[in-house]
Amino acid sequence: MREEIYPKSLRTLPREKAFYFFTSIGNYTGESASSLKEFMEKINHVNIKSLEFHLYRGDFEKWINEVVEDKKLAEDISKLQKANPLGDQLRNQLHMVVSKRYQQLTIGLV
């Protein structure tokens, strides 16, 4: 029952489970996210190339599904990927999808 009070997908992850933002194969930006909240924040300022690189590789969907363990958000990101947004449109839409889910999860927590 505790999980209903504090959803599992809001937990802070250990360093090795964090999401590491790359702009291309092997090129790490130095930005990482250890929680859904941090991920949401990083979307706003990480290099746009990194968002495009990870979205179309399916990395966001995979991390949200397998590590954060939020199937609903993973599905929403998968739908976004199919819409093929680029640039700032991608950044805005991705942020909207993640923040919407984050709000759903945090309602009633405070």
Partner 1 sequence: MDLKILEALQEDATRTYMAIGKSLGVAHSTVFDRIKRMEQYGIIKKYTAIIDAEKAGTKNIVAIMTIYTDPKESEKVAEKLCNAPEVLEVYTSLSEELQIIAKVIAENQESLHMFIANSVAPLPGVLRIRTSIVTRKFKETQFSIVNDPKKLTFIKETNNKNGGNKRERRDLSKKS
Selected range binding partner 1 among 2-10, 25-33, 35-43, 71-79, rule: CB under 8 A: 25-33
Is residue 108 at the binding interface for partner 1, with CB under 8 A as the rule? no
DSSP codes of every residue in the chain: -HHHHS-GGGSPPPGGGSEEEEEETTEEEEEEESSHHHHHHHHTTS-HHHHHHHHHHTHHHHHIIIII--HHHHHHHHHHHHT---HHHHHHHHHHHHHHHHHHHHTTT-
Count of residues near partner 1 by CB under 8 A: 12
Nearer to partner 1, 18 or 48 (CB): 18
Is residue 32 at the binding interface for partner 1, with CB under 8 A as the rule? yes
Smallest distance from partner 1 to CB 32, Å: 7
Nearer to partner 1, 63 or 102 (CB): 63
- Residues in contact with partner 1 by the rule CB under 8 A: 15-16, 18, 20, 22, 25-30, 32
